[in-house]
Amino acid sequence: MAKTQHLDSTEELKSKKSKSERTAERLYEISIDQFLRRGFDQTTMRDLAQAAELSPGAFYYHFPSKEAVIQRFYEQTFAQFAEAAREAMSAHERFEARYMGLLEARLSTFRSSRELLIVLSRTAVDPRSTLSPFGPDQKEIREATIDLMRECIDGSDLSAHAKLRPYLPELLWMYMMGLIFYWVFDTSPEQKQTRELIRLLTPQIIRLIRFSRIPLTGRVLQPLFQVLQLVIPEPLALRQDSNKSTSRE
Amino acid sequence: MAKTQHLDSTEELKSKKSKSERTAERLYEISIDQFLRRGFDQTTMRDLAQAAELSPGAFYYHFPSKEAVIQRFYEQTFAQFAEAAREAMSAHERFEARYMGLLEARLSTFRSSRELLIVLSRTAVDPRSTLSPFGPDQKEIREATIDLMRECIDGSDLSAHAKLRPYLPELLWMYMMGLIFYWVFDTSPEQKQTRELIRLLTPQIIRLIRFSRIPLTGRVLQPLFQVLQLVIPEPLALRQDSNKSTSRE
DNA sequence: GGCATAATTTAAACACGTTCAAAATAAGTC
DNA sequence: GACTTATTTTGAACGTGTTTAAATTATGCC
């Protein structure tokens, strides 16, 4: 964000990336490689600097902190996830299949780096941390993910009570976040327990959403709507400027 | 744990506490005082040692880490909470009133030290951390808390499906843990938002529990019971040795 | 009371993430 | 091409939680 880059030199059009960006990219790759090989806590900044044949100080010129590398990783895998999710969703119209595909896409793009997510989780719980999915620093990724939930709903056969509908993207997002959290700390072999949990619980959640249309449940639903309004005061769907990718040159 | 203490000297019967325990107690009090005054991160071990007129090394003789002080604090307030909860519960028979009293007791015994809980939460999310409420190190407090939930149910008018009943203490405990978590990071003035959330959501949760007895909901409940069995494979109520305080001399 | 052993304390060091003033290098300008 | 400016790198330091070998003090025993 806020990178003042003038695309007027021919070299930049060719290589597309400044020297600084290339160095940052190199540092990132070396770091992730080391983290996966030796663990996040076990890898020191001096290790990273040495592996990159650089001084620790230079590292801090390109990254504000050790954890910021994980932040970049998080952004990176999000792109993969979004792509995989969209492909999975394009194959189905039934909401259950679409959403299950989305969840599967999320876990499989995380699979190879569960340990990094543990590190992320540790700091991410504090909403004041820059790594928190709920904080302002992650707004972009968060809203993009919530928008992915909207896509998942929009192309599907899912029906729900009109009052519930605007909250659905956020709710599905929260459900996914909870599952990721469960998965990260799931010690069962290959995290089969989370798989089983998803298989059992998700259809019931969806069933409840569909049930919301039945009028007689009104007396139960009324207070739950109040809860939704309290916890999600401004759902993305009800925002003014919900313009998507209108990049103006 | 595993403190080899021989109660055969008259002095120990009188003072009840060894020198080591008294020093630890003093360090604890000084530390909490400093933490509340200056914040956990802002207080260094050298500060604590200086305030206690001791060396940093001595501190580590009595506490394994800086965070271990918070662990002790957590144990301490649990006792206060249990007492306050029991008193609140003794005044009512209706489950809703009893449980609300319990929740109120938990939050009010934490109120004066919300910032310490933020620190606790940060490390507590990782189940491998000693501070995690889900890990083996916290087993004692956790099970005592779950047992408090059982007390809350036992003396009340709450009815539920027979298959659900053994899971209720754990479920109520999890609900409370979630609320505490929400409360800790609730930035609304005096955490009124959490208060409101509790007021709105809790009655609905209880209503759902009561509804579980209605047979026609079986088709929804069946998969949910499977989820419960998966997430809570060994509820406290179904353990063999659920003997409570049978201290044998 | 003297002595072996254990408990407690010390002060210096360690290892870590991070910062910073200064040096080195690259880019831009006339 | 020389000069200025911006970018990048360095390496030594800082401040932190924690460890440790050694010194000190208390305890138990005959």
Asked if A204 and B185 come within 8 Å (Cβ–Cβ), the reply is: no
Contact B85, B192 (CB under 8 A): no
Q: Is the dihedral of CA A182, B77, B145, B20 positive or negative?
A: positive
Question: Left, alpha or beta for A114 (phi > 0: left; psi -120 to 50: alpha)?
Answer: alpha
Judging contacts by C-beta atoms under 8 Å, the chain B residues touching residue A224 are: 201, 204
B45: which nucleotide lies closest, measuring CA to C1'?
Answer: D17
Q: Which range (A9-13, A90-94, B178-182) has the least confidence? A: A9-13
Residue A30 · residue A52 · CB < 8 Å: yes
Maximum distance among all alpha carbons in chain B?
Answer: 68
* More confident site: A130 or B224: B224
Q: Are A122 and B118 in contact (CB < 8 Å)?
A: no
The tens digit of pLDDT for each residue in A2-59 reads 333 333 333 334 445 677 889 999 999 999 999 999 999 999 999 999 999 999 999 9
Residue A245, amino acid: S
b/e burial code for range A162-192 (CB count within 10 A of at least 16 → b)? eebbbbbbbbbbbbbbebbbebbbbeeeebe
Q: How far is B197 from chain A (nearest CA, A)?
A: 6
Q: Say yes or no to pLDDT of B187 above 80.
A: yes
Higher pLDDT, B212 or B16: B212
Would you state the pLDDT for residue A5? 38
Nucleotides of D under 7 A from a protein CB: 7-13, 15-21, 26-28
Distance CA B119, CA B122 (A): 5
Q: Which CATH class is domain A73-238?
A: mainly alpha
- Tell whether domain B70-237 is in CATH 1.10.357.10: yes
Cβ contact A230–B123 (<8 Å): no
In whole angstroms, give the CA distance from residue A143 to residue A135.
Answer: 11
CB contact under 8 A, A220 and B204: yes
Q: What is the pLDDT of residue B81?
A: 97
**Whether residue B246 has pLDDT greater than 80:** no
In angstroms, the CA B34 to CA A136 distance is 31
Classify B18-63 by CATH class.
Answer: mainly alpha
CA–CA separation, A121 and A203 (whole Å): 27
pLDDT computed for residue B121 by the predictor: 84
Distance (Å) from CA B56 to C1' D27?
25
Per the structure, the residue whose CA is closest to nucleotide C20 at C1' is A57
CB contact under 8 A, B227 and A127: no
Q: Could you tell me which residue, B133 or A16, shows the higher pLDDT?
A: B133
How confident is residue B132, by pLDDT bands cut at 50, 70 and 90? confident
Name the 3-class secondary structure at B10: helix
Ranges of CATH 1.10.10.60 domains, chain B: 18-63
* Partner-chain contact A121 B123, CB within 8 Å: no
Write out the H or E segment, with its range, that includes residue A31: helix A19-38
Q: Round and report the angstrom distance from CA (B29) to C1' (D8).
A: 49
Query: With an 8 Å Cβ cutoff, is B214 touching chain A?
Result: no
* Residue B228 vs residue A215, higher pLDDT: B228
Q: So what's the pLDDT on residue B170? A: 97
Average pLDDT for chain B: 87
For chain B, say whether A214 makes contact (Cβ under 8 Å). no
Helical spans, DSSP H, in A125-234: 139-154, 168-184, 192-211, 218-231
CATH 1.10.357.10 residue window(s) in chain B: 70-237
Token couple for A177: 């976040």
Chain A positions in Cβ-Cβ contact with residue B223 (cut-off 8 Å): 200-201, 203-204
Q: Which nucleotide is nearest to B61 (CA to C1')?
A: C8
User: Which of the two residues, B103 and A239, has the higher pLDDT score?
Assistant: B103
Q: Is the CB of B14 under 7 A from strand D?
A: no
Query: Nearest CB to A223: which of B118, B200, B227?
Result: B200
pLDDT in tens, B197-223: 999 999 999 999 998 888 766 677 888
Judged on CB neighbours under 10 Å (0-12, 13-18, 19+), A80 is middle
Please give the residue that has the higher pLDDT: either B190 or A15. Answer: B190
Cβ atoms of residues A27 and A59 within 8 Å: yes
Q: Hey, is A126 helix, strand or coil?
A: coil
Tokens of B101: 């009293």
> Would you call A126 an interface residue with chain B, using a CB distance cutoff of 8 Å?
yes
Q: pLDDT tens across B43-95, in order? A: 999 999 999 999 999 999 999 999 999 989 998 999 999 999 999 999 999 99
- Predicted confidence band at B34 (pLDDT cuts at 50, 70, 90)? very high
Q: What's the rounded mean pLDDT across residues B175-203? A: 96
User: Chain B partners of A204 at a C-beta cutoff of 8 Å?
Assistant: 220, 223-224, 227
